[in-house]
Amino acid sequence: MIPKNEYAPYYALYINQIEKLEKTIVENLINSQKEFEKVLKTIPLEKQNYAYAAGKWTLKQVIQHIIDTERVFSYRALCFARNDKTSLPGFDQDFFVANDNSQERNFEDLLEEMAILRKSTILLYKSFSEEALLRIGNASNNNMSVRALGYLFSGHQIHHLNVIKERYL
């Protein structure tokens, strides 16, 4: 179990998705990506730009959001693991989505980008020592450990995959 002082309360939703599984960070990264690909590779063309309600993100926007979040948080993990004490800026997910071009992107390209990004995240986490995983940095005025970020990636992906299954398919 990850101590609550290693992440902001906001992230408990995602981290709690993972802590039930009792696997390593890397195992979770691999497993959540496999499930993500299994579900999304079967999405028909007419669902790719679908939003379940007015003002909600389309399926492509959700995938782009997962990609953007993993990129931003991977940078945070790298900085924290390297013991960089710089307080990192926030990340406005709605601003990012409003300014992406996911609607014009090829769906398969989005899935491939996520797969490649996840491979990169897995290799990044394989490179971290046990000591580095316990380091804590600051982003968005909140402290977070490298370890908590590692679990957050999978939990965030699982959370959105559950929403996709419930509301998009």
φ and ψ at 69, to 5 degrees? -65, -45
* DSSP assignment of the chain: ---GGGS-GGGHHHHHHHHTT---HHHHHHHHHHHHHHHHTT--GGGTT--SSTTSPPHHHHHHHHHHHHHHHHHHHHHHHTT--PPBP---HHHHHHT--GGGS-HHHHHHHHHHHHHHHHHHHHH--HHHHT-EEEETTEEEEHHHHHHHHHHHHHHHHHHHHHHT-
pLDDT at 20: 64
pLDDT at 64: 98
Domains with residue ranges and CATH for the chain: 15-41+55-167 (1.20.120.450)
**Residues 125-150, mean pLDDT to the nearest whole number:** 97
Mean pLDDT (the chain) is 95
Predicted local distance difference test score (pLDDT) of residue 1: 80
| 3-state helix/strand/coil string of 119-168 | HHHHHHHHHCCHHHHCCEEEECCEEEEHHHHHHHHHHHHHHHHHHHHHHC
Please give the Cα distance from 73 to 52 (Å, whole number).
Answer: 27
Above pLDDT 90, what percent of the chain?
93
Residue 162, pLDDT above cutoff 80: yes
Residue 22: phi and psi, rounded to 5, are: 55, 50
Digit-coded pLDDT (tens) for 40-91: 999 999 999 999 999 999 999 999 999 999 999 999 999 999 999 999 999 9
Q: Can you give the pLDDT at residue 18? A: 86
Does the structure show a pLDDT above 90 at 147?
yes
pLDDT of residue 19: 66
